[in-house]
Amino acid sequence: MHKSKHSTPSPADMAVRMTTAEATVGALIAHGIDTVYALPGVHNDPLFDALFKAADHIRTVHTRHEQGAAYLALGAALATGKPQVYSVVPGPGLLNSAAALLTAYGMNAPVLALIGQISQSAIGRGLGHLHEIRDQAGIIARLVDFCARIRAPTQAATRVAQAFRAMATGRPGPAALECAIDVWGRSAPASATPPVPPLPPQPIDEDAIRDAARRLAAAKRPLIVAGGGAQDAAAEVAELSRLLQAPVLAYRRGRGVLDSRDPLSVTLPLGRELWGEADVVLGVGTRLSYGYTQWGIDQELAVIRIDADPEEPERFARPAVALIGDAGPIVRHLIDALRARHRPSRRAEMEERQAKMRRRLDKLAPQIGFLDAIRAELPEDGIFVDEVTQIGFAARLLLPVYKPRTFLSPGYQDNLGWGYATALGAQHARPDVPVLSIAGDGGFLFTSNELATAMHHRIPLTAIVFNDGAFGNVRRIQEEQFGNRLIASDLANPDFVRYAQSFGAEAERARTPQQLRAALKRAFKRRDGPTLIEVPVPAMPSPWEFIFMPRVRGVR
């Protein structure tokens, strides 16, 4: 564009001499990033120096293990719905963070990894450089949808913008940028390129909308299934549910899309019954994996899918209608296209069925007692972070959830040990609400070293460890299915209260739901540092009959 010599150049036109690291940090800030979760090392020293200089705009939260850095970023992304960034050294640093990156992929979470590299000219030569790993770019490429290497200061802003665009386009998910040890500190005149906006959303297929609306309007027993992709479409899903008097099934990632106090809001076991009766199922941002893989499908059931990923709807089977794009606007179009027709309220029926199912679930009594205590103290918008533990399994079925993004559950990876560090990231990103991490004694020690991070950065996370002295889930399977031949499932534990106190955290033991309630009340009031509550528990009744259930329709 021609400019007269008196016009003020826009920031984008101004090439200022800066390092690759400075240009990268500038670009992160331009994309709204206010925190980098990180663990430093020589490969990334200029990046940390750039973060030091930009400390007024961007905080650096350093952790005690790279998995912690990546899980904190994941927790922050899940709690806010916004992209988050972590940085680690190459080789072992990358691999230490890999389980979290894998989980971010499985949960479609926008997490950007900034990963160091050996010197540019040595990459691929096998010279045995510090932290060298064969084909790092190839390994990263298997973990994320977008990755690139920043090769010069002038490339930094563009690469960062491409990564942000990739994280926000289509199915969201993680991205990664590598940068070599000798490139971060290299300087050149570089422009502070403004952020590239995400690609415009794909237009909504109005023919498909009409087809879907017609099928939903004609449905006698419609069922909506909400997954993680529905978290930002809660208002629209609730309105559609009310219009159609359609129950909304959500199990883990979709919890909180429809408030649990609505009698149309159901979890797995009742959801399966409704799946068996349904004539139309609308899946919103969900793989529908329980329905397809366990409960069965037949000619009488028409499936409508809404998904951000164009490849997703046909993975199990071709649906009757596929709508590709953001759930919110698509459900809004559906509502507009539905010819409003009064449907008799299903409230009484659903309340009765909920009560009946609840009586069956009452056999999970010890879990329910503790969950009731948690729900009584955790505010409506407080965030519950699930783990692969007995209380977690029960929470997925039974904990009432009131708001979107307040129930964080690790998706199909279901990776033990994600909880404490992920919850810490959620609490760091949402200091305005209490976050509660729950874990078993097995899972907690995977990332409990990050108690040091919670202390250092004064993150007021509350965590409960349910201590049964075992990988309880594994032990119960060995008891029930392997003739009680117990192996590798008993645990020697620290005294968790003294362990947490040794970091400087507040800690106490609660033995009953009443004691837990009182302890939580104290913990949620404390806003200047972490709290740990240990709850000693016996072996608990199995939840699996409510999770893996026989088919209700169709034949294989």
Identify each DSSP E strand in 391-526 by its residue range. 407-408, 435-440, 462-467, 506-509
Least Cβ distance, residue 393 to ligand TPP (angstroms):
8
Nearer Cβ to ligand TPP, position 496 or 524?
Answer: 496
Helices 206-218 and 327-337, interaxial angle, to 10°?
A: 60
CB-based closest residue to ligand TPP: 440
**Size of the chain, expressed as the number of residues it contains:** 556
Nearer to Mg ion, 441 or 506 (CB): 441
Closest C-alpha among 36, 80, 87 to residue 429: 80
Q: Of the two residues 35 and 415, which places its CB atom closer to ligand TPP in the complex?
A: 415
User: Measured from the CB atom, is 80 or 493 closer to Mg ion?
Assistant: 493
Cα–Cα distance for residue pair 9/287, rounded to 1 Å: 49
Work out whether 97 is an interface residue with ligand TPP (CB under 6 A).
no
Binding-site partner at residue 313 among Mg ion, ligand TPP, none, CB < 5 to 8 Å by type: none
CA–CA separation, 31 and 112 (whole Å):
12
Compare residues 195 and 541 and give the one whose CB is closer to ligand TPP: 541
Decide if residue 155 touches ligand TPP (CB under 6 A).
no
**Shortest spacing between CB 543 and Mg ion, in angstroms:** 14
Binding-site member from 224, 388, 435, 461 for ligand TPP (CB under 6 A): 388
Whole-number Å distance between alpha carbons of 228 and 167:
16
Task: Confirm or reject binding of residue 468 to ligand TPP (CB under 6 A).
Answer: yes
User: Which chain residues interact with Mg ion by CB under 5 A?
Assistant: 440-442, 468, 470, 472
Task: Name 175's bridge partners.
Answer: 112, 146
> 306: number of CA atoms within 13 Å, CB side?
31
Give CA–CA dist 125/118, Å, rounded. 11
Q: Residue 532 binds which entry of Mg ion, ligand TPP, none, with Cβ cut-offs from 5 to 8 Å by kind?
A: none
Q: Nearest distance from residue 418's CB to ligand TPP, in Å?
A: 8
Q: Which range binds ligand TPP by CB under 6 A, 37-45, 150-158, 283-291, 387-395? A: 387-395
CB-side neighbour CA atoms (13 Å) of 288: 28
Name, in order, each residue with C-beta under 8 angstroms of 479's C-beta and a sequence gap of 6 or more.
Answer: 486
Nearer to ligand TPP, 313 or 417 (CB): 417
Per-residue binding letters, 418-447, with ligand TPP (x by CB under 6 A): ----------------------xxxx----
Number of residues that bind ligand TPP (CB under 6 A): 18
Contact yes or no for 398/345 (Cβ under 8 A): no
Buried-state track 296-306, b at ≥16 Cβ within 10 A, e below 16: bbeeebbbbbb
Member of 191, 415, 427, 462 binding ligand TPP (CB under 6 A)? 415
> Considering beta carbons, is residue 133 or 547 the nearer one to Mg ion?
547
Nearer of residues 283 and 417 to ligand TPP, judged by Cβ: 417
Q: Residue 431's closest CA among 555, 325, 345, 526?
A: 526
Minimum Å gap between C-beta 520 and ligand TPP is 19
Selection from Mg ion, ligand TPP, none that 473 binds (CB < 5 to 8 A by kind) is ligand TPP
* Interactions with ligand TPP, residue window 322-381 (CB under 6 A): none
Q: Which does 414 bind (CB under 5 to 8 A by kind): Mg ion, ligand TPP, none?
A: ligand TPP
Which of 103, 241, 389, 409 binds ligand TPP (CB under 6 A)? It is 389
Q: Write the single-letter amino acid at 501.
A: Q
Helix (H, G, I), strand (E, B) or coil at 386: coil
Question: Which string of DSSP letters, residue by residue, matches 290-342?
Answer: HIIIII---TT-EEEEEESSTTSTTTTS--SEEEES-HHHHHHHHHHHS----
Residue 153 binding: pick among ligand TPP, Mg ion, none (C-beta 5-8 Å cut-off by kind): none
- For residue 254, give Cα distances in angstroms to 25, 260, 340: 34, 11, 26
- Partner whose footprint covers residue 390, from ligand TPP, Mg ion, none (CB < 5 to 8 Å by kind): ligand TPP
- In this structure, are residues 444 and 468 in contact, taking their beta carbons and an 8 Å threshold? no
Q: Site residues (CB under 6 A) for ligand TPP?
A: 388-390, 414-417, 440-443, 466, 468, 470-474
